[in-house]
Chains A and B, each alone.
Chain A
Amino acid sequence: MERFADEALVLSTVDYGEADRLVTLLTREHGKLTAFAAGARKSKRRFAGALEPYMRLRVQLVETRGSTVRLDSADIVAGYYTARAELSLIARALYAVELCRELTREHEPHPELFALLEDYLRRLDAKEAGPTSLLAFELAALAHAGLMPRFDACALCGGPPGERPRFDQSHGGAVCEACSGRAREAVVVPTELLSGLRALQEGVRQPLSPELRARARGVLNVFISHHLGRRLKSVDFMAQVGLD
């Protein structure tokens, strides 16, 4: 059984039996892995505090016969403790890790996604990432997963989205008024929403107004749940506690 070291961000954890824990990690070189942490619940000393969502770790892993790996040791590289002391920051960080977990498959390396999530968490912890940054992070994470909603042209005819554009998740983006008859699920969206999201995709860091953010959240929610086949759970949490 081969032993290897990697950097990892904890995406989620689930208790396993009485004493153990299964930890979903996004590693820099080996992609998403499910690691078996023996004794993680019983022995407070071995992994104490390290196996929490969005901890950045240096891990020692051992291959096993199945698809799961065994976690031998975990050293905290960054705890992002500031991002654990405010409800809005916790909500955004958890949403970011849940999105990364759902967008990836195990054992497929995603070094860019790792770097993206790491950078986002670092900025969140430095209080440099507001609600618009989360939208920008989502769009970038979606692009890494090969899911890039189009906001600059009609997804059906390729022409400009026009004055009364729609957004249609099943066609993957904006739809012009003339094509809207062929996009039955399409909803009318403001032109500023499309230009705002387009700017975020291009890396422009321009905060969106609260109204546009709320519309963007709605559009991304339907887009993501359409492509993943389910709604992300932490998005409901953000709505329940009145945050974005």
Chain B
Amino acid sequence: MTPDPLNRLVAQLAKLPGIGEKTAQRLAFHILRAPGEYAAELSQAIREVKEKVHLCTRCFSLTDTELCGFCRDSKRDERTLCVVETFADLMALERTREFKGRYHVLHGVLSPLDGVGPEQLRIKELLERLGDGRVEELILATNPDVEGEATALYLTRLLKPMGLRVSRIAQGLPMGGDLEYADQATLAKALSARREL
């Protein structure tokens, strides 16, 4: 008979993505054996992430202040705005250390087969923040699948008439890759998006 509190912890951990019953048990025993502060800090961290982290009121990335760090950082170029599907995509772009502009997180993509339309995304908010005329260029960095493409095309239709420069991130072969092993769709895209030298 395992004690109820332990069972409850295992059950909660097992709800996490990628965590099965066995792993949940191992994690629960680890927490049980660890020094008391660890459990206290873990539970506090979990509580605070729910209580304090919310969406930035301007770009809808995650923050624990009203405006996020990307929106507050005066060194970032406010003339260039990169539009992404999710916060995870934003973090991936940040890891490149190449992009110095600001972001806008849509929180999803247009998904006709799932009934997700423009109203369910942060598109209205995007258009509102463009109203101050500071942004000059938009980079559409939605995923290169049919939904990401539909979203980028829909946004282009809205943004172009506003006199903004709109670009789409390129698609093609991975760096250091090998043509021989590239998949058909990527290679086809790389061919059609070739550039003149």
- A48, A49, A85, A237: the one contacting B112 at CB < 8 Å is A237
- Taking a contact as CB atoms under 8 Å apart, the answer to whether B153 and A86 are in contact is yes
Query: Could you pull out 25 A-B pairs where Cβ atoms are within 8 angstroms?
Result: A48-B184, A48-B185, A50-B184, A52-B185, A54-B146, A75-B184, A79-B184, A79-B188, A81-B189, A81-B192, A87-B153, A87-B157, A91-B112, A94-B146, A95-B112, A233-B112, A233-B113, A236-B117, A237-B115, A237-B117, A238-B112, A240-B117, A240-B119, A241-B117, A241-B154
**In the complex, how many angstroms separate the beta carbon of B158 from the nearest chain A beta carbon?**
10
**Once bound together, how far apart are the Cα atoms of A49 and B184, in whole Å?**
8
**In the complex, how many angstroms separate the beta carbon of A125 from the nearest chain B beta carbon?**
13
A234 beta carbon closer than 8 Å to chain B? yes
3 A-B pairs with least C-beta separation: A49-B185, A48-B183, A237-B112
**Once bound together, how far apart are the Cα atoms of A9 and B113, in whole Å?**
15
Which B-chain residue is minimally distant from A95 (CB atoms)? B112
Interface string of A83-114 (1 = CB under 8 A from B): 01111001100110110000000000000000
Interface string of A113-137 (1 = CB under 8 A from B): 0000000000000000000000000
Place the interface of chain A in its size category: 20 to 34
**Once bound together, how far apart are the Cα atoms of A233 and B111, in whole Å?**
9
Which B-chain residue is minimally distant from A47 (CB atoms)? B183
B51 beta carbon closer than 8 Å to chain A? no
Given contacts A49-B183, A79-B184, contact A12 B113 (CB under 8 A): yes
Residues of B within 8 A of A53 (CB): 113, 146
**In the complex, how many angstroms separate the beta carbon of A11 from the nearest chain B beta carbon?**
9
Tell me the chain A residues, 29-61 only, with Cβ under 8 Å from chain B. Answer: 44-45, 48-50, 52-55
**Once bound together, how far apart are the Cα atoms of A54 and B112, in whole Å?**
13
Residues of A within 8 A of B115 (CB): 233, 236-237
Which B-chain residue is minimally distant from A74 (CB atoms)? B184
B150 beta carbon closer than 8 Å to chain A? yes
**In the complex, how many angstroms separate the beta carbon of B89 from the nearest chain A beta carbon?**
15
A76 beta carbon closer than 8 Å to chain B? yes
Listed in ascending order, the chain A residues whose CB lies under 8 Å from chain B are 12, 18, 44-45, 48-50, 52-55, 75-76, 79, 81, 84-87, 90-91, 94-95, 97-98, 233-234, 236-238, 240-241
B78 beta carbon closer than 8 Å to chain A? no
**In the complex, how many angstroms separate the beta carbon of B182 from the nearest chain A beta carbon?**
9
- Taking a contact as CB atoms under 8 Å apart, the answer to whether A45 and B183 are in contact is yes
- Taking a contact as CB atoms under 8 Å apart, the answer to whether B183 and A233 are in contact is no
**Once bound together, how far apart are the Cα atoms of A48 and B150, in whole Å?**
19
Which B-chain residue is minimally distant from A55 (CB atoms)? B185
**Once bound together, how far apart are the Cα atoms of A50 and B181, in whole Å?**
15
Interface string of B79-104 (1 = CB under 8 A from A): 00000000000000000000000000
Residues of A within 8 A of B37 (CB): none
**Once bound together, how far apart are the Cα atoms of A95 and B150, in whole Å?**
13
B77 beta carbon closer than 8 Å to chain A? no
Interface string of B157-185 (1 = CB under 8 A from A): 10000000000000000000000010111
**In the complex, how many angstroms separate the beta carbon of B156 from the nearest chain A beta carbon?**
8
**In the complex, how many angstroms separate the beta carbon of A34 from the nearest chain B beta carbon?**
15
**In the complex, how many angstroms separate the beta carbon of A103 from the nearest chain B beta carbon?**
15
Interface string of B40-73 (1 = CB under 8 A from A): 0000000000000000000000000000000000
